[in-house]
Amino acid sequence: MTDKESKHILVTGGAGFIGTNLCRRLLKQGHTVTCVDNFQTAQAPFRTAFRESARFRVVRHDVTMPLEATADEIYHLACPASPVHYQRDPLHTLKTCLHGSINMLELAGRANAKLFQASTSEIYGDPEVHPQPEHYRGSVNPIGLRACYDEGKRCAESLCFDYHRQQGVRIKIGRIFNTYGPYMQPDDGRVIPNLICQALRNRPLTIHGDGLQTRSFCYVDDLVEALLRLMETPDEFTGPVNLGNPSEVTMLELAEHIVELTGSQSKIVFRPLPSDDPRRRCPDIDLARSRLGWQPSVPLREGLQRTIEYFEDVLMLGEQTVSKTVPAF
């Protein structure tokens, strides 16, 4: 990549799971990357994700506060995505979704930067339409325990479109469905890292509900490719666009895959289903196929095997302790 082709790209939430994978990919493409994170949920494996580079900078900052920076593109990923984390401080989660999005949209306007807003499949709630297309408006409990995230992300989408229509800010909105892979946290609270770590430790695998509820899991490399392709589309295409894997799997099937792939002696135990947990979740990705020329390519078992190998290394190195320190590069 020539200097003329290289961009300065700012990634909020860049020390998180998707952010870490995205920053690595952008650096490999030859871009200059600024990772902005408050390190509220960032973890020790982030330390090992990067080698020292003059093109990579880490800024400790909470996006609920205004930020002065320059950038050609902004990937706004900042916000805890795990129910365990976003329900721990629901007011801060809402502030991150609302004030954080306003601050990044204001920055994008000042810098004339294109902004990607990380939305979520959670905006569909417990869906009454299956699979979920972008025109479906969802079934969300606005006062439930998950509302700080669900409704926060719905409002963030509204903010993006109002800034786009009223102030001409260039936006791209991707509704990210369940994603997994390296650089997830062992204490993340989402189902794949939970089950993998339980299996590797030969502890009981915890399934909530009857295990027949479904999800569709997209390997993180596929998801990052979708983000890059969305950002490259013409300005008139704003989204929102579903980004995920349309192949459904039940939680019982997922647990069985993980037990088999790890060779674990773990047994499956059942726990009550959390409040407002959706029974089915699967994206309609026709729009992503037609406008981005994209669909996932990594099969579930292959992605799980790669993720298991990552967690084997993490647990062996003892990096499951949350790090509150900005990494040195």
Residue pair 307/154 in contact (Cβ under 8 Å)? The answer is: no
The SS3 assignment for 205 reads: strand
* Catalytic residue list contains 310: no
The 3-state DSSP composition of the chain as helix, strand, coil percent (nearest 5) reads: 40, 20, 45
Q: How far is CA 329 from CA 14, 19, 45, 192, 326, in A?
A: 15, 17, 13, 29, 10
Range list of H helices, the chain:
17-28, 83-86, 90-111, 147-167, 191-200, 220-231, 251-262, 286-292, 300-317
323's CB contacts (< 8 A; 6+ apart) are 39, 42, 43, 44, 46, 47
Terminal alpha carbon distance of the chain: 23
Q: Which one from 75, 86, 124, 149 is the annotated catalytic residue?
A: 149
Residue 81 CA, distance from chain mean position: 6
Give the dihedral sign, CA 318/92/82/74.
negative
Class of residue 329 by CB neighbours under 10 A (exposed 0-12, middle 13-18, buried 19+):
middle
d(CA 150, CA 172): 19
Residue pair 17/220 in contact (Cβ under 8 Å)? The answer is: yes
Nearest to 56 by CA among 26, 21, 76, 79: 26
d(CA 166, CA 162): 6
Class of residue 256 by CB neighbours under 10 A (exposed 0-12, middle 13-18, buried 19+):
middle
Q: Which residues are catalytic?
A: 149
